[in-house]
Amino acid sequence: MKESNKKNTLGRSWQVLLWVFLFAGFMGITVHGKESLEINAQMHEQWESEGAFWAKIAITICNQTDAAAKNWKIIFSLPEGGEIQDIWNGQENVMEENIIITAASYNTTIHEGETAEVGFIIRTAEKMELPQVKVTADMEERTEENFSKGYEEKKVQLQNAEKKAHSCDYDGKGVSVHGQLRVEGTQLVDEQGKPVVLHGMSSHGMAWYPQFTSEHILESIREKGANIFRAAMYTAEDGGYCEGNAQEAKQLTFDAVDRAIALDLYVVIDWHILSDHTPQLHKEEALEFFAEASERYAGNPAVIYEICNEPNGTDWGSDIKPYAMEVIPVIRKNSPDAVVLVGCNTWSQDVDVASMDKLDFENVMYTFHFYAGTHMLDAFCGKIETALRNGCGIFVSEWGTSRADGSNGVFLEESHRWLDYLDEKGISWINWSLSDKEESSAAFLPGTDSEGLGEEDLSESGRFVFDALNCN
């Protein structure tokens, strides 16, 4: 192309209109002779509850062009009586019979080689057929100016990723130093009433990766600076407490808890609901389990109880709060001083909603979960700010450097920003996860020998998080 013609085309934009059907897999669209946006649309789950049908849908837009995709929109029609219950990474608008999901403030532009993901839960009166989806985006060709700007932005991100994870202003010591914890206002404090911030790691499912809760592994994270460990005991999944061998799941959990206590770590016993959606589904099993666990660890200052991991597709006031009001007294009967963590709507993100209808118990904190590739600080920290203003203590009992499904990334720059923010607010955090699962959020590379652990076995996420722990 001649130089004069080249200048005339710089900055040219066009709009691409994409029609896709929701299905598991990618569809590539070609525009003006160039491969354009790839759409990965998936229905992850469908379930029936409260006389209605629910579906969780995620759509990923992947920009494989050499142009920036701006101001994307997702358009589709819902069946009569259908409605969106929850949405993330986007904003819902209604136009006549169509639902239009527009970008959030932080993902309006999808640069070359990058992706944007939006997800939502649909509620319908009858079992839903997958709707037809239309996606539009303004495609802006690369110019000399925006190419240079994009290059510099990437360069800065890489440089920042090599810096120390975040400012280190906590002491990292365990139970022997801080003793019995309690909640004063919104702050976690120790036995002397001094503010304390806990930083540590979570197991993956105890039934699947028990080897990464060994004494050697727990000692390794303590040496890196961790002062808390979370034992995640799934409930409804294969091998979980409610769908597998309850005695085996419980024993794996208690064994890991005992090892953590022996190493002077605080430890969270996590009733890890996920695919069961509502804590009410296995409430009776939860009451039985927490009665036994709180009796076993009665008076032990190391133990913290997390009573519902990530409620989803359910409601705080009519579902989660009533569950907590039954479970917490069972724990208090045996362990009256223990801190209790309570999960919230939408995979433990809606702490703002919970804070408007608080639990009437002392020493309770509300859990907030985030994944740096899905939950951007600028969009989600407002939930935490609202909860703090309403007098609720926040505990980040699970976060990851990846997207919410454990894949893609790692998103180090956004992880930096989150950890800096949590440090500023004095909020404790626990990273997901101590496993060698083939996903980017895992701390170890696939095939890692849990008893011969070395620095070379750490994943990119593991190196980042262990560096974040190594602050004392």
Q: Write the pLDDT tens digit of every residue in 318-337.
A: 999 999 999 999 999 999 99
What is the structure's pLDDT at 148? 53
Tens of pLDDT, residue by residue over 65-117, are 778 888 888 888 877 778 887 777 778 887 767 888 888 766 778 877 777 77
DSSP sequence for 15-84:
EEEEEEE-EEEEEEEEETTEEEEEEEEEEEEEEEETTEEEEEEEEEEEE-SSEEEEEEEEEEEPPTT-EE
Please name the amino acid found at residue 272: H
| β-sheet bridge partners, residue 369 | 398
Report which DSSP code applies to 169.
Answer: -
Place of tokens 């996903």: 439
Do the beta carbons of residue 228 and residue 219 sit within 8 Å? no
Q: Is 255 helix (H, G, I), strand (E, B) or coil?
A: helix
Query: What's the confidence (pLDDT) of residue 162?
Result: 42
**Residue-by-residue DSSP string for 197-215:** --EEEEES-TTT-GGGGSH
Pair of tokens at residue 220? 């390794």
pLDDT of residue 28: 43
What is the average pLDDT across 31-35? Answer: 41
Question: Virtual CA dihedral for 359, 360, 365, 370, nearest 10 degrees?
Answer: 10
Q: How far is CA 148 from CA 1, 142, 235, 381, 411, in A?
A: 21, 10, 50, 31, 22
Give dist(CA 270, CA 256) in Å, integer.
12
Given 398, 414, 438, 456, which residue is catalytic?
398
pLDDT of residue 105: 63
pLDDT, mean of residues 158-167:
43
Each residue's pLDDT tens digit, 111-137 = 777 777 787 778 888 887 777 777 788
What's residue 163's pLDDT? Answer: 43
Q: How far apart are CA 231 and CA 289, in angstroms?
A: 14
Q: Which residue has the higher pLDDT, 415 or 92?
A: 415
Is the alpha carbon torsion for 199, 204, 207, 209 positive or negative?
Answer: negative
Beta bridge partners, 132, equal 21
Identify whether 191 is a catalytic site residue. no
CATH 3.20.20.80 in the chain is located at 170-469
Cα–Cα distance between 19 and 35 in angstroms, integer? 15
Q: Is the pLDDT assigned to residue 221 strictly greater than 70?
A: yes
**pLDDT attached to residue 58:** 77
Q: Among all chains, which residue has been given the structure tokens 């409620």? A: 311
How far is Cα 251 from Cα 344, in angstroms, rounded to an integer? 27
CA distance 170 to 151: 36
State the average pLDDT over residues 189-200. Answer: 95
Instruction: Choose, from 310, 326, 385, 451, the residue flagged as catalytic.
Output: 310
Helix (H, G, I), strand (E, B) or coil at 321: helix
pLDDT, tens digit (0-9, with 9 covering 90-100), for 195-207: 999 999 999 999 9
Distance CA 232, CA 272 (A): 6
Measured distance CA(302)–CA(179) in Å, rounded: 8
Q: Where in the chain is the domain with CATH 2.60.40.290?
A: 13-142
* pLDDT band, very low/low/confident/very high, at 9 (cuts 50, 70, 90): very low
Say what the pLDDT of residue 124 is: 86
Phi-psi region of 346 (alpha: psi -120 to 50; beta: other; left: phi over 0): left
**50 given a catalytic annotation:** no
Using the 8-state DSSP alphabet, how is residue 128 labeled?
P
Give the residue carrying structure tokens 């408007």. 356
Q: 294-319 pLDDT, tens per residue? A: 999 999 999 999 999 999 999 999 99
CATH architecture of 13-142: Sandwich (2.60)
Answer whether 40's CB lies under 8 Å from 26's CB: yes
Most confident of 50-59, 69-78, 233-242, 302-311: 302-311
Q: How many CB atoms neighbour CB 441 within 10 A?
A: 30
Range of weakest confidence among 159-168, 246-255, 334-343: 159-168
Pick from 246, 217, 266, 245: nearest CA to 442: 217
Average pLDDT, the chain: 84
Q: Does position 426 have pLDDT exceeding 70, yes or no?
A: yes
Q: What pLDDT shows up at residue 169?
A: 39
Q: Could you give the angle at the alpha carbon of 351 between the alpha carbons of 74 and 460, nearest 5°?
A: 70
- At the second CATH level, the architecture of 170-469 is Alpha-Beta Barrel (3.20)
Both structure tokens of 307: 């009573």
Span 59-69, average pLDDT: 81
What are the Cα distances from residue 289, in Å, to 185, 285, 312, 336? 29, 6, 21, 16
Tokens 């209808």 appear where? 357
Give the pLDDT score at 171: 46
- Which pLDDT score is estimated for 152? 55
pLDDT in tens, 257-304: 999 999 999 999 999 999 999 999 999 999 999 999 999 999 999 999
- What percentage of residues in the chain have a pLDDT greater than 70? 83
- Whether residue 252 is predicted with pLDDT greater than 80 in this model: the reply is yes
The pTM of this model reads: 0.69
Name the pLDDT band for 164 (thresholds 50, 70, 90): very low
